[in-house]
Structure formats: structure tokens, C-alpha cells
């Protein structure tokens, strides 16, 4: 699989099918640490939940990974951290952040994955890693970017596909 990168460690990778999207999620799972947050960007159906599914499976979660479209967030508790999977597509009122205590979910002991971060407004903390999924004629392509020192270190540890 080709792997186009640059000095910052950012890279673009082709994802020919659903399994490839899950495999990228699994690669990320092996390097993520508590305290990190990831934004999953891309159109409806781009593969954001699919990537999350691969990531959770690699972490050992054997249950069903539901899209949090209606609940806004799903919690996956692991022994040493909580993983929160957000989908902010239906998020309308930024005050909901405060009311629901979402801000406290972003902590040293949690990993946060956020679909549709664009809908979260100013209150959403900046991510350590941003994954953008683009829909191609066949399959998808992913652009992975480290936005903080911690995020870049994490990406540098990624295994080659
Ligand atoms: N690399 C890929 N190539 C082709 N199909 C894919 C790929 N990755 C995921 N898919 C398929 O795309 C469909 C939509 O995926 P998914 O639900 O993960 O998208 P999403 O980005 O979470 O969408 P939404 O914005 O609606 O939450 C699924 O049927 C999934 O199997
Ligand atoms: Mg989704």
C-alpha cells in the first residue's frame, strides 16, 4: 500500500475497501494513549464510524459499535481509560456542551474520537490528530495529520500498513 508523507509525519493512504478503513483504525489503536483526541472528518458515509469500529476491535472491544448519531456520544470503558465516541452531526446548541458536561470527557484518562467536529463549535477542544476521509470513485482515501506534539509523536509510532 502506498504511503505518501511529509516532514511533519502527515500522510495520505488509500483505503480500497471497508476492511482497509478498519485496518487504519487498528493501526491507530496500537499507538493511541489516554489524553489524546482525534477528529474524524469527511462527508456522510466517508467511513468515520468504520474506522472507529476497527479501532475499538483492536482495543479488544467485542460488542457492537453503534453510530452515536442520536445519542451524540457512546462510552467504551477500558481498564486504564475511557473511550468516548462522539458524533456531532445532529448537535445544534453549543450550550449542550456545558449542560451535558462533555468538556469533562476530554481528560488525561480518556481517548476521544469525534465525528462531525465542525458541528461542535468553539467549545470543542482542538484535536491531537485529525483524520480526513475522502470518498473516491472506488473506495476512500485518508489523510492523517498530527496537530500537537503528542499527536505527531503518536503518528510517528504508527506501523507501516
Ligand atoms: N474504504 C472504503 N471503501 C468503500 N466503502 C467503505 C470504505 N470504508 C467504509 N466504507 C463503507 O461506507 C459506508 C459508510 O461508512 P460509515 O458509516 O463508517 O461512514 P461515516 O463517515 O461514519 O458516515 P456518517 O457521517 O453518516 O456517520 C459503510 O457501508 C462502510 O462499509
Ligand atoms: Mg458515522
Q: What is the C-alpha separation between 147 and 86, in angstroms, rounded? A: 19
Distances (CA, A) of 72 to 67, 95, 142: 9, 14, 23
Nearest ligand to the CA of 90 is 1
CA of 17 to the centre of ligand 1 (A): 9
Atom of ligand 1 nearest to the CA of 40: 21
Phi, psi of 75 (to 5 degrees): -100, 130
pTM of the model: 0.94
Q: How far is the CA of 45 from the centre of ligand 1 (A)?
A: 4
pLDDT at 109: 95
Q: How many residues does the chain have?
A: 161
Could you tell me which residues are beta bridge partners of residue 71? Answer: none
* Rounded mean pLDDT, 50-65: 97
pLDDT above 90 for 28: yes
pLDDT digit string, tens, across residues 87-143:
999 888 877 777 778 888 999 999 999 999 998 888 789 999 999 999 999 999 999
Q: Residue 143 CA to chain centroid, in angstroms?
A: 12
DSSP result, 101-128: TGGGGSSTTEEEEEESGGGGGGGSPPPS
Min mean pLDDT across 3-17, 42-56, 63-77, 121-135 is at 3-17
Domains of the chain: 12-123+143-156 (3.40.50.300)
Amino acid at each position: 500500500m502506498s504511503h505518501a508523507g511529509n516532514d511533519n509525519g502527515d500522510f495520505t493512504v488509500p483505503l480500497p475497501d471497508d476492511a482497509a478503513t478498519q485496518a487504519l483504525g487498528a493501526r491507530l489503536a496500537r499507538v493511541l494513549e489516554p489524553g489524546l483526541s482525534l477528529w474524524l472528518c469527511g462527508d456522510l458515509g466517508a467511513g468515520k464510524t468504520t474506522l472507529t469500529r476497527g479501532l475499538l476491535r483492536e482495543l479488544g472491544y467485542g460488542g457492537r459499535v453503534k453510530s452515536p448519531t442520536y445519542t451524540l456520544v457512546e462510552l467504551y470503558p477500558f481498564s486504564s481509560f475511557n473511550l468516548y465516541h462522539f458524533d456531532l452531526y445532529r448537535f445544534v446548541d453549543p450550550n449542550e456542551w456545558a449542560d451535558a458536561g462533555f468538556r469533562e470527557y476530554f481528560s488525561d484518562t480518556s481517548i476521544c474520537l469525534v465525528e462531525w467536529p465542525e458541528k461542535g463549535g468553539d467549545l470543542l477542544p482542538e484535536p491531537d490528530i485529525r483524520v480526513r476521509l475522502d470518498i473516491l470513485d472506488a473506495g476512500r482515501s485518508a489523510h492523517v495529520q498530527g496537530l500537537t506534539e503528542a499527536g505527531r509523536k503518536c503518528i510517528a509510532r504508527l506501523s507501516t500498513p
